[in-house]
Structure 1
Amino acid sequence: MTRDRAYLHYLDDRGTERLLACEHAAEVAFEDVPPVRKIPSYAGQRHTPGHYWSACTDRMVGYESHLESKWMKLLDFDPQVAAFAAQPFTIEAQDAEGPWQHTPDLFVRRCDGTALLVDVKEDSRIPMPGVALQARRTADLCRQLGWDYFMVGEPDPLRWATVSWLAGYRRPLRAGKDLTGPLLQLARNPLPIGELVSFQPLPELARAVVYHLMWHHQLAFDPTRPLRDYTRVHTADARRAA
């Protein structure tokens, strides 16, 4: 491998190994590829691997740690995110400091077609020299590709509390589906959640529908404040019209 040349090692949709020069990265929809490596799972391990069902892609995505699963939920809630994949490829490159390899945690495709790589690390590890070097190398490569890059740790507690709560209501509606129209109509003028659900004959069922609509951004609210019964919501279309 020549200096300053980088390749992406990935698996296609048939599980066949591929090696792609980075200058051709735009030719592959990495948001749809399977993980390039298996996530280890064994008794007594430090991390807690598992699978997360993504509402934006309607598929299971494997994660290596609870912290990584948090960021999957946050990305899933982000209205700018169209799809994401875990462990999408391994970067194989060489620069002035020598050869290096790295498998990013998440590849994100935004609704506008732009791409983002995300690495998830515990806060205490982010300042470590080796981690900082990996982040710098990956960020430099992403700039060459026209991608964004973030290394993230623990999310903001308030943001996480809100998103993790609403995530429980992200799946398609079954019971209460008929309440969607009336609730959106009532919320054309902002009003508190508690008042909105009180207009329905089954308030607790209506509450679940309200949270579902909030997750899917059909009901807008202020995410910088704690989620409470007095949280004011309003129909997203009405806000845009205003």
Structure 2
Amino acid sequence: MTYEGTAHFWAGSAGVVSDSDVAVRFRMDNGEFVDMTLRRLPFDDVLAGKPVREFRWWKGKRHYSGWYWSSTTGGHVVYESRLELARILLADHDGDVVAIAAQPFVLEGIDGGRVRRHVPDLLLARADGGLTVVDVKAVARLSDPKVASQFAWARDVCEAHGVGFEVWTGCDPVLLSNVRFLAGFRRPVTIALEWVEAVMSFAVDPIEFGLLERSLVRMAPPAVIRPVILHLLWRSWLSTDLTRNLGRSTVLAAAATPAGVSA
């Protein structure tokens, strides 16, 4: 992965940067790079912008990079590794997450007399207005003193500016497997949305997956209804324990339903 402008941009950032603040470089949707301080950062522009880095392919590359189509953003989110993709999947499934940006900005600031630079993996915006910076790292790497000190600095910087900070190393494998499977039904254009209200009406009380399908068999075949059920699980309009394997005996229940459920 590379990004433009690798020279220090500390002195060139907008305003006077003190030891208590950090310089930030982000990339607008039109591709233009913008420098300023973290206190003045327009997060809406960051979330709507482009990654500050672009990945490159080469023979023998160890990580799997690519682009993931997000139902949250309606566009593609870049990932640099399969572990990073896993965290993006969970964010895309999370109904509280309203925006996702990958490699959202470069942070540069003073840490004990030295200049640090850091590009977080993700920036998540939540429905309540909260923001969380996420760094994805294999758990074995956390014992590396360089990694630990970098993340400690990034956490201090983020929290001092009212932004949450998360280091993500993985999750329950069954949960991830279920979410990855449900992601296959995330695109509304592939779902018969006209059956959403009917499915939800039969799930007002807890009901097994198989029974829910059979209850609607006179209205539409399972090949039509099953993707609707799985789409609603993806959107969290139907709820279940995703740390257990999905099957016909999985108990589903209607969650709080937003207005315009069939949209």
Tell which deviates more after alignment, 133-142 or 26-35. 26-35
Following TM superposition, by how much is the alpha carbon of 1:237 offset from its aligned partner in structure 2, in angstroms?
A: 3.2
2:88 is aligned with 1:72: yes
The answer (yes or no) to whether the contact 2:28–2:45 under 8 Å persists in 1 is no
Cα distance in 2 between the residues matched to 1:217 and 1:58: 17
Aligned partner of residue 120 in structure 2, secondary structure: coil
Aligned partner of residue 55 in structure 1, secondary structure: coil
| Corresponding residue of 2:173 | 157
Say which of 107, 110, 131 aligns to 1:94.
110
2:204 is aligned with 1:185: no
2:120 is aligned with 1:104: yes
Q: Which runs of 5+ in 2 are unaligned?
A: 1-9, 11-17, 258-263
| Corresponding residue of 1:52 | 68
Distance 1:91 1:185, change over 3 A: same
Following TM superposition, by how much is the alpha carbon of 1:34 offset from its aligned partner in structure 2, in angstroms?
A: 0.3
Say which of 168, 173, 176 aligns to 2:184.
168
- Identical-pair percentage: 32
Q: Which runs of 5+ in 1 are unaligned?
A: none
2:214 is aligned with 1:198: yes
Tell which deviates more after alignment, 120-129 or 47-56. 120-129
2:137 is aligned with 1:126: no
**1:50-101 deviation digits (Å, cap 9, x = unpaired):** 1100001100111111111111100000111001111111111112141110
Say which of 235, 241, 255 aligns to 1:222.
241
Distance 1:125 1:218, change over 3 A: same
| Corresponding residue of 2:133 | 117
**1:177-196 deviation digits (Å, cap 9, x = unpaired):** 33212111111111000110
Distance 1:27 1:157, change over 3 A: closer
TM-score by length of 2: 0.85
| Corresponding residue of 1:135 | 151
Equivalent pairs counted in the alignment come to 238
The answer (yes or no) to whether the contact 2:121–2:135 under 8 Å persists in 1 is yes
Following TM superposition, by how much is the alpha carbon of 1:102 offset from its aligned partner in structure 2, in angstroms?
A: 0.5
- Two-structure CA RMSD over aligned residues (Å): 1.6
TM-score by length of 1: 0.92
Amino acid at match of 1:125: R
Aligned partner of residue 139 in structure 2, secondary structure: coil
